[in-house]
């Protein structure tokens, strides 16, 4: 039996309902901390430990790494959205002065992959503009760029589809003709699903999350409703645009591989590189001292990590491979679009009776275009069901982006709740106070309303000018916050 | 047109582009690539005219590397560069002055801001050989004798950095503002850094940092 002691802990929301609770904890645990204003460091501003390096320009980001004998590498990328590569002629590029090595890709490391469909062709099928085809290492970046440009590619063009609604049609060109699988990314792109329900380019639906599956009875819920909002909302594709692009400097040595990379996840990069090169993880060292922004998209070694590794191994020199801005936009991740059908029923007093959600979105050649769990957990509602579909298009793969899916999902749900408040002739915040069980969010809304001056808000439609200005409210949640509630 | 094509920032079709046999005249370059500035707008004509007078117009340069002298942060340095090299590339790749960042490489984001004779320019849009006798100041030249510039200290005090990739450019624009306006309003600060894109959202802290630094200088 472990000895325990009873301790009082501060509990609740400061300046609202802060109280104390008594808890039993092991004897050897430190005493409970007082609230922040009685602490010396917690809750007090501190200087960023690396701020001086950043303001003086001394901070070395991956793009700034320079090693003795280092080569610069550049990708050659597809200029067409769908094709078979018939031939690749690197003979001129190999002879180009200053070129050290060229590698032509045979396997693509990101996005969804067709299962067990080893092509007889030497090259992967082209499925999006920007798909990497080859990499060149040279003594300078401009030489690598020039050599990449004189690599000749003979394409056999294929039909393609880049519009999500066109891609949903049965007659649309198929992005994948065989079942696909996608390696889990440490970035967590949200709910994905088995590939067993495929219809053309459409995969899914996902109907559940770790909060469970559908609940109640939609039909009954809508029958009980006094008011129903039924609407389709759309969000567009966004690209992450970290100021520092994705990239690496790889220094391959017989005793181990040193990888400098701009990443949020050194461990995932180490594991990917070790797996790719069949090295023990102890032989791969990944360093990221500074990262010029990631926003969720920098969880992986991508194709650039293996490419730089191969070129470094081939040449015996460190290889610098940072993407340029265009490559970053077209190939290195995005937040998928969404087309969300929402139907929400409510009683006259505001209480929700049913929420139905059906979404389609495209993460290009990848999975992960769901709209998250907001509709499922944000508001009290006994009857709920969701169907979330992925649609493949001939476009660059999506990537995690700070609460994957939830941003799009929250946008749709909150638009619908606003429309509901109009139909019920209720203030949008007052309606949320009725349907949202979270005490924390209630206090947040109160404080936000004060800061924004919510009382000066005019009803929807008050501004008759061509450009309309007004005040609105929206909220969201993320599973880890829900647990903390 | 052929010269221009080389500057397109893309990995597009494998068009066969061979290095120019004849070499490229300086004048042709000037027509193709303009200089735009960072936070503070300057007309490119005035900037270029000084430098242009110093080079004989009929002297062909390149495509092979040439030797040039650059006055950087008070020191004159000789570097061997290709005539097409931008100032940003030369600072970063030849002189290891990597505080100057390349983000968009097309004069849209001001991360590469340096000063030429005290005036902010986008070094990614400035050919190194166009710099001539002008003094280049980079972020590495802002602190003097190991002492942080008040703006740098203020950026630390007000937590005006997040990822830090836009920070050197922000500081180059901000210090220039205070060099020319001792008592700026918040609108002056917004104006000075309007070209400096920050993806993390540090702008409100940058405003506070610059206004506070102005008071202390």
Q: Do B84 and A142 touch (CB under 8 A)?
A: yes
Report which of A328, A363, A155, A134 is spatially closest to residue A242, judged by C-alpha positions.
Answer: A328
Interface of A with B in 142-171 (CB under 8 A): 142, 145-146, 148-153
All residues of chain B having their beta carbon less than 8 Å from the beta carbon of residue A152 are: 14
All residues of chain B having their beta carbon less than 8 Å from the beta carbon of residue A59 are: 99, 164
Suggest the residue from A58, A65, A243 to mutate for an interface test with chain B (most B CBs closer than 10 A): A243
Q: What is the pLDDT of residue A14?
A: 86
CATH value at residue B157: 1.10.150.120
Residues B35 and B114 in one domain: yes
Residues B178 and B71 in one domain: no
All residues of chain A having their beta carbon less than 8 Å from the beta carbon of residue B141 are: none
Question: For the ranges A210-214, A347-351, B69-73, B194-198, which has the lowest average pLDDT?
Answer: A210-214
- Domain A62-158+241-324 coded CATH 3.90.1170.50: yes
Q: What is the pLDDT of residue B27?
A: 41
SS3 string, chain B, reads CHHHHHHCCCCCCCCCCCCCCCCEEHHHHHHHCCCCCCCCCCCHHHHHHHHHHHCCCCCEECCCCEEEEEEECCEEEEEEECCCCEHHHHHHHHCCCCCCCCCCCCCCCCCCEEEECCEEEEHHHCEHHHCCCCEEECHHHCCECCECCHHHHHHHHCCCCCCCCCHHHHHHHHHHHHHHCCCCCHHHHHHHCCCCCCCCCCHHHHHHHHHHHHHHC
Interface of B with A in 5-24 (CB under 8 A): 9-17, 19
Among A64, A75, A243, whose Cβ lies nearest the Cβ of B11? A75
Give yes or no for A467 touching B (CB within 8 A).
no
Q: Do B163 and A293 touch (CB under 8 A)?
A: yes
Q: What is the pLDDT of residue B31?
A: 39
| Residues A77, A324: Cα–Cα separation, whole Å | 12
Suggest the residue from B12, B88, B103, B139 to mutate for an interface test with chain A (most A CBs closer than 10 A): B103
Please name every residue paired with A147 in a beta bridge, in sequence order, or none if there are none.
none
Q: Do B17 and A243 touch (CB under 8 A)?
A: no
Better-scored residue on pLDDT, B146 or B117 = B117
Distance (Å) of CA A342 to CA A51, A210, A390, A413, A431: 46, 21, 17, 7, 18
All residues of chain A having their beta carbon less than 8 Å from the beta carbon of residue B10 are: 324, 326
ipTM of the complex: 0.89
Q: Do B197 and A243 touch (CB under 8 A)?
A: yes
Q: Do B11 and A74 touch (CB under 8 A)?
A: yes
Give yes or no for A326 touching B (CB within 8 A).
yes
In terms of CA atoms, which chain B residue is nearest residue A52?
B156
Q: Do A244 and B105 touch (CB under 8 A)?
A: no
Residues B83 and B110 in one domain: yes
Residues B83 and B169 in one domain: no
Kindly report the nearest CA distance between residue B59 and chain A, in angstroms.
24
The number of CA neighbours under 13 Å toward the Cβ of A8 is: 6
Helix (H, G, I), strand (E, B) or coil at A286: strand
> Number of folded domains in chain B?
2
Distance (Å) of CA A101 to CA A73, A93, A104, A319, B89: 9, 9, 10, 11, 23
Kindly report the nearest CA distance between residue A148 and chain B, in angstroms.
7
| Residues A38, B145: Cα–Cα separation, whole Å | 40
- Is the previous residue joined to A54 through a cis bond, with omega within 30 degrees of 0? no
| Residues B89, A485: Cα–Cα separation, whole Å | 51
Give yes or no for A327 touching B (CB within 8 A).
yes
Residues B8 and B112 in one domain: yes
Interface of B with A in 95-154 (CB under 8 A): 96-106, 109, 111, 138-140, 142-143, 148, 152
All residues of chain B having their beta carbon less than 8 Å from the beta carbon of residue A146 are: 17, 19
| Residues B184, B180: Cα–Cα separation, whole Å | 9
Domain boundary among B81, B115, B141: B141
Residues B209 and B126 in one domain: no
All residues of chain B having their beta carbon less than 8 Å from the beta carbon of residue A150 are: 14, 16-17
All residues of chain B having their beta carbon less than 8 Å from the beta carbon of residue A149 are: 11-17
All residues of chain A having their beta carbon less than 8 Å from the beta carbon of residue B171 are: 55
Domain ranges (residues) in chain A: 4-38, 62-158+241-324, 198-238+334-484
Helix (H, G, I), strand (E, B) or coil at A5: strand
Residues B195 and B108 in one domain: no
Q: Note the CATH number of domain A198-238+334-484.
A: 3.30.365.10
Give yes or no for B94 touching A (CB within 8 A).
no
Better-scored residue on pLDDT, B57 or B120 = B120
pTM as predicted? 0.87
Sequence-ordered list of residues with C-beta below 8 angstroms from that of A252, at least 6 positions apart, any chain: A309, A312, A313, A316, A318
pLDDT band at B1 (very low <50, low <70, confident <90, very high): very low
- pLDDT digit string (tens) for chain A, length 485 residues: 789 999 998 888 989 998 999 999 999 998 888 878 889 999 898 999 999 999 999 999 999 999 999 999 999 999 999 999 999 999 999 999 999 999 999 766 556 766 655 555 678 999 999 999 999 999 999 999 999 999 999 999 999 999 999 999 999 999 998 888 777 665 555 555 555 567 899 998 999 887 889 999 999 999 999 999 999 999 999 999 999 999 999 999 999 999 999 999 999 999 999 999 999 999 999 999 999 999 999 999 999 999 999 999 999 999 999 999 999 999 999 999 999 999 999 999 999 999 999 999 999 999 999 998 999 999 999 999 999 999 999 999 999 998 889 999 999 999 999 999 999 999 999 999 999 999 999 999 999 999 999 999 998 888 998 998 999 999 999 876 655 44
Distance of CA A226 to the CA centre of its chain: 38
Neighbours of A370 (CB within 10 A): 29
pLDDT over 80 at B48, yes or no: no
Q: Do A63 and B102 touch (CB under 8 A)?
A: yes
All residues of chain A having their beta carbon less than 8 Å from the beta carbon of residue B152 are: 52, 55-56
All residues of chain A having their beta carbon less than 8 Å from the beta carbon of residue B93 are: 66, 140-141
For residue B21, what are the domain limits?
Answer: 2-141
CATH value at residue B49: 3.10.20.30
Q: Do B163 and A292 touch (CB under 8 A)?
A: yes
Domain boundary among B93, B115, B141: B141
Classify residue A477 by its DSSP letter. Answer: -
Q: What is the pLDDT of residue A482?
A: 56
Interface of A with B in 278-307 (CB under 8 A): 290-293, 295
Residues B56 and B132 in one domain: yes
In terms of CA atoms, which chain A residue is nearest residue B12?
A79
Residues B22 and B129 in one domain: yes
Residues B154 and B137 in one domain: no
Q: What is the pLDDT of residue B109?
A: 97
Kindly report the nearest CA distance between residue A59 and chain B, in angstroms.
7
Distance of CA A230 to the CA centre of its chain: 28
The number of CA neighbours under 13 Å toward the Cβ of A255 is: 0
| Residues B93, B43: Cα–Cα separation, whole Å | 28
Report which of B155, B88, B90 is spatially closest to residue B123, judged by C-alpha positions.
Answer: B88
Classify residue A423 by its DSSP letter. Answer: H
All residues of chain A having their beta carbon less than 8 Å from the beta carbon of residue B200 are: 293
| Residues B110, B107: Cα–Cα separation, whole Å | 7
| Residues A105, A392: Cα–Cα separation, whole Å | 22
All residues of chain A having their beta carbon less than 8 Å from the beta carbon of residue B167 are: 54-55
Report which of A205, A335, A262 is spatially closest to residue A64, judged by C-alpha positions.
Answer: A262
| Residues A159, A80: Cα–Cα separation, whole Å | 10
pLDDT over 70 at B13, yes or no: no
Neighbours of A54 (CB within 10 A): 27
Residues B84 and B166 in one domain: no
Strand B113-116 versus strand B135-137 pairing type: antiparallel
Residues B14 and B37 in one domain: yes
Interface of A with B in 59-88 (CB under 8 A): 59-61, 63-64, 66, 74-77, 79
Q: Do A327 and B11 touch (CB under 8 A)?
A: yes
Query: Is the dihedral angle over the CA atoms B137, B139, B143, B149 positive or is it negative?
Result: positive
Q: Do B167 and A145 touch (CB under 8 A)?
A: no
The number of CA neighbours under 13 Å toward the Cβ of A415 is: 15
Here the tokens at position A129 are 């503009």
Domain boundary among B106, B141, B176: B141
């Amino acid at each position: 039996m472990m000895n325990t002691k009873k301790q009082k802990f501060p509990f609740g929301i400061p300046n609202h309902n802060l109280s104390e609770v008594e808890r039993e904890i092991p004897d050897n645990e430190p005493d409970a901390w007082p609230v922040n204003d009685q602490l010396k460091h917690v809750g007090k501003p501190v200087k960023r430990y690396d701020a001086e390096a950043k303001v003086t320009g001394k901070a070395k980001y991956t793009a700034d790494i320079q090693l003795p004998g280092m080569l610069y590498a550049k990708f050659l990328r597809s200029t067409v959205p769908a094709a078979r590569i018939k031939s690749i002629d690197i003979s001129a590029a190999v002879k180009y002065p200053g070129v050290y090595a060229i590698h032509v890709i045979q396997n693509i490391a990101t996005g969804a992959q067709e299962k067990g469909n080893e092509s007889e062709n030497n090259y992967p099928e082209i499925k999006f503009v920007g798909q990497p085809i080859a990499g060149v290492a040279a003594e300078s970046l401009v030489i690598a760029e020039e050599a990449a440009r004189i690599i000749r590619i003979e394409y056999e063009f294929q039909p393609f589809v880049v519009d999500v609604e066109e891609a949903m049609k049965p007659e649309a060109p198929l992005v994948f003709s065989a079942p696909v699988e996608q390696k889990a990314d440490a970035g967590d792109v949200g709910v994905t699903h088995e590939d067993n329900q495929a219809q053309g380019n459409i995969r899914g639906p996902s109907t559940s999350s770790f909060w469970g599956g559908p609940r109640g009875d939609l039909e009954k819920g809508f029958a009980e409703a006094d008011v129903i909002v039924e609407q389709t909302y759309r969000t567009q594709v966004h690209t992450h645009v970290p100021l520092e692009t994705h990239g690496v400097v790889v220094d391959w040595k017989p005793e181990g591989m040193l990888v400098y990379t701009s990443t949020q996840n050194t461990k995932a990069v180490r594991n990917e590189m070790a797996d790719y090169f069949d090295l023990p993880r102890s032989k791969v060292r990944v360093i990221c001292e500074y990262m010029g922004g990631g926003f969720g998209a920098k969880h992986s070694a991508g194709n650039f990590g293996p490419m730089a590794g191969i070129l470094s191994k081939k040449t015996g020199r460190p290889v610098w491979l940072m993407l340029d801005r265009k490559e970053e936009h077209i190939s290195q991740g995005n937040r998928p679009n969404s087309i969300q059908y929402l139907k929400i029923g409510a009683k006259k007093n505001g209480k929700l009776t049913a929420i139905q959600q059906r979404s389609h979105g495209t993460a290009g050649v990848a999975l992960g275009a769901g709209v998250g769990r907001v509709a499922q957990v944000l508001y009290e509602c006994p009857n709920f069901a969701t169907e979330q579909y992925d649609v493949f298009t001939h476009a660059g793969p999506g990537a995690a982006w700070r609460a994957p899916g939830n941003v799009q999902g929250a946008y749709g749900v909150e638009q619908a709740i606003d429309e509901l408040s109009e139909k019920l002739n209720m203030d949008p915040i007052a309606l949320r106070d009725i349907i949202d069980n979270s005490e924390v969010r209630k206090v947040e809304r109160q404080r936000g309303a004060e800061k924004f001056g919510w009382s000066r808000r005019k009803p929807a439609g008050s501004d008759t000018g061509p450009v309309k200005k007004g005040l609105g409210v929206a909220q969201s949640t993320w599973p880890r916050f829900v647990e903390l509630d | 047109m052929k010269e221009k094509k080389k500057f397109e920032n893309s990995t597009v079709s494998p068009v066969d582009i061979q290095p120019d046999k004849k070499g490229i005249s300086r004048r042709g370059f000037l027509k193709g690539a303009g200089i735009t500035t960072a936070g503070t707008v300057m007309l490119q004509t005035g900037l270029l005219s000084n430098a242009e007078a110093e080079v004989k117009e009929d002297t062909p340069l390149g495509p092979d590397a040439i030797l040039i002298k650059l006055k950087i942060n008070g020191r004159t340095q000789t570097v061997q560069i290709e005539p097409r090299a931008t100032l940003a590339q030369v600072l970063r790749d030849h002189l290891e002055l990597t505080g100057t960042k390349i983000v968009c490489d097309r004069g849209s984001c001001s991360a590469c801001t340096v000063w030429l004779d005290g005036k902010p320019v986008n070094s990614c849009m400035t050919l190194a050989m166009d710099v001539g006798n002008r003094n280049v100041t980079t972020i590495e030249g802002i602190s003097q004798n190991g002492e942080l510039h008040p703006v740098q200290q203020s950026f630390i005090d007000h937590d005006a950095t997040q990822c830090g990739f836009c920070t050197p450019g922000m500081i180059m624009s901000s210090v220039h503002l205070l060099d020319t306006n001792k008592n700026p309003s918040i609108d002056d600060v917004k104006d000075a850094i309007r070209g400096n894109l920050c993806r993390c959202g540090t702008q409100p802290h940058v405003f506070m940092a610059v206004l506070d630094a102005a008071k202390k200088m």
